[in-house]
Chains A and B, each alone.
Chain A
Amino acid sequence: MNAYQRTAVVFRREFRSYFQTPLAAVFLVIFLFLAGLFAFNIGDFFGRGTADLRPFFQYHPWLYVFLVPAVSMRLWAEERRTGTIELIMTLPFGTTDLVIGKFLAAWAFTSVALALTFPMWITVSWLGSPDHGTIVVGYIASVFLAGAFLAVGAFLSALTKNQVIAFVLCAVACFLLLLAGFPTVLDFLRGWAPLGVVEALASTSAMTHYESMMRGVIDMRDALYFVLVIAAFLTLNVFAIDWKKSD
């Protein structure tokens, strides 16, 4: 059996597990409700008089700060709590396949949640003539952002057997990852920090790259940022699992 097949086995088991608990239903309902609330009420979807989904996408980072940790918190913390990690760690292959399989399942699950917002696209298309390319890139950006946050959450989940701690750590880490590129923070830093530092900080922020993609253009630097964040945190996840395998 090769690595792809093993990853597929882990993916199938993990993806199914979301739907065997109330987690999937609760997550999907809350995500769809909040996505709609932010877009229509706070984002003033109808009042803007523009046929686009910007009010919908612009609140995704803040939604993900709280909803992605709810998905990622159980990835490894649950395996530790129940002791199933003990048997998994004696399997005759490395932890990379397991880490990738679990991550992809969580990513696919959040992507399903995002896919269920397609009626918004249909609505805006019915109301006017939106730029479909921008909407497609908006969805891609949102998927990338969820992936980055999930990778961070998966790594933090590997450090503890307590899901609540994993949730809080992930929410804080994702919040900081957004905050680093927030205009208020950057403006404050510009007052006293060297420009290079401010730009470096802004470039590490998920918000900077997400906002950039929301303009409707896929800049390779933005895509590469998300890919690198995912790869870096999944690598850390592998190390964390190996480091704490007997805990």
Chain B
Amino acid sequence: MHRREEYYSRFMLVLRDLHKCFGSIVAVADLTLEVNTGEVFGLLGPNGAGKSTTIAMITGLLTPDSGTVDVLGLGSPTSAAVRMHLGLAPQEITLYADLTARENLLFYARLYGVVNARARVEELLALVELEARGNDRLATYSGGMKRRLNFAAALVHDPKLLLLDEPTAGVDPQSRNRILDLVRQLASEGKTIIYTTHYMEEAAKICDRVGIVDGGRMLDVGTVAQLVTRHGGQSSVAIERAGVQTRVLTNDPVAEVTRQFAIGGVTSVRVEEPDLEGVFLALTGRSLRE
């Protein structure tokens, strides 16, 4: 196998020095990223961090000022060959309110030239648990149902790379859980997924690797464990004795808890492991939700 083929069999998406400005505002600054084939990659950052701009450049909706986007080694997403492999569920609902769920999916399936479009639509409606409401117009759907259908529309042509831009923003817990289950299911089927979110719990739960983005810059990339090890700081052990609480920072919480019990008089103990919130705080100096 040639080196180039070998490289692109490993990486589904390669971004090199992506840069995008809107006037004087730098939306994305020299972003370089390699996304492995078959992984769920989380882009974690607050609103305005540059996540959606990055997604727009990956899909070809925006042209980078400089830098390159390469999908599957086929080149830029402006080519039809590349776009056949991209599935996008944008942050906004991008379906027709005057059409039913079935009609919406069928419209896109036909535009993509999907063979047995009707069967594919039924399959997707079942996947997002909307078969029973398939003949209802989108205008009658709740926010969560719309999001699930938006998700289904991104899958209509069975893309290899799925881009989910804040897919759980503003949805009810039932739809949120369904969407997270779907992401896991699709990942287990071998799809590569880029998942943007500002919910760190979601990123920690479903992403193989996470990239922390802020101010248009990729601050660090790694598994959650790697990021926590690198930037999360120490674990915190909260000990209560006779109504008085003390907190100890340690790299070995088990040893610390053992030591505290050996001293005696402990009425309660709580261990707080470092998490992505701590990582974000360490990298940016502020909380993710600020």
List residues of chain A with CB under 8 Å of any chain B CB.
1, 5-6, 9-10, 13, 17, 20-21, 82-87, 89-93, 245-246
> Which residues of chain A come closer than 8 Å to B88, judged between CB atoms?
86-87, 90
> Which residues of chain B come closer than 8 Å to A246, judged between CB atoms?
56, 61-62
Q: Tell me, yes or no, whether B244 is within 8 Å of chain A by CB.
A: no
Q: Tell me, yes or no, whether B60 is within 8 Å of chain A by CB.
A: yes
Q: Which 3 residue pairs of A and B lie closest in terms of their CB atoms, listed nearest first?
A: A1-B113, A92-B83, A83-B92
In the complex formed, the residue of A with least CB distance to B90 is A86
Q: Is the CB of B112 within 8 A of A89?
A: no
Q: Is the CB of B61 within 8 A of A89?
A: yes
Q: Contacts A82-B97, A87-B94 known; A9 to B61 CB distance under 8 Å?
A: no
The count of chain B contact residues (Cβ–Cβ below 8 Å) is 28
Q: Tell me, yes or no, whether B141 is within 8 Å of chain A by CB.
A: no
In the complex formed, the residue of A with least CB distance to B86 is A90
> Which residues of chain B come closer than 8 Å to A13, judged between CB atoms?
96, 99, 107
Q: Tell me, yes or no, whether B110 is within 8 Å of chain A by CB.
A: yes
Q: Is the CB of B84 within 8 A of A92?
A: yes
Number of A-B contacts (CB under 8 A): 67
Q: Is the CB of B111 within 8 A of A86?
A: no
In the complex formed, the residue of B with least CB distance to A2 is B113
A52 to B: closest C-beta gap in Å:
41
Report the Cα distance A9→B56, complex, angstroms: 25
Q: Tell me, yes or no, whether B153 is within 8 Å of chain A by CB.
A: yes
> Which residues of chain B come closer than 8 Å to A83, judged between CB atoms?
90, 92-94
Q: Is the CB of A91 within 8 A of B112?
A: yes
In chain B, residues 45-64, which have Cβ atoms closer than 8 Å to a Cβ of chain A? 56, 59-62
Q: Is the CB of B107 within 8 A of A9?
A: yes
B27 to A: closest C-beta gap in Å:
11
Q: Is the CB of B59 within 8 A of A90?
A: yes
The answer, among A9, A20, A86, A90, for a CB contact under 8 Å with B110, is A9
Given A13-B107, A90-B59, 17 further pairs, Cβ under 8 A: A1-B113, A6-B113, A17-B96, A17-B99, A20-B98, A83-B94, A84-B94, A85-B94, A87-B95, A87-B153, A89-B61, A90-B60, A91-B83, A92-B81, A92-B82, A93-B80, A246-B62
The answer, among B59, B84, B96, B111, for a CB contact under 8 Å with A84, is B96
What per-residue 1/0 map shows which CB atoms of B215-229 lie under 8 Å from chain A? 000000000000000
Report the Cα distance A20→B99, complex, angstroms: 9
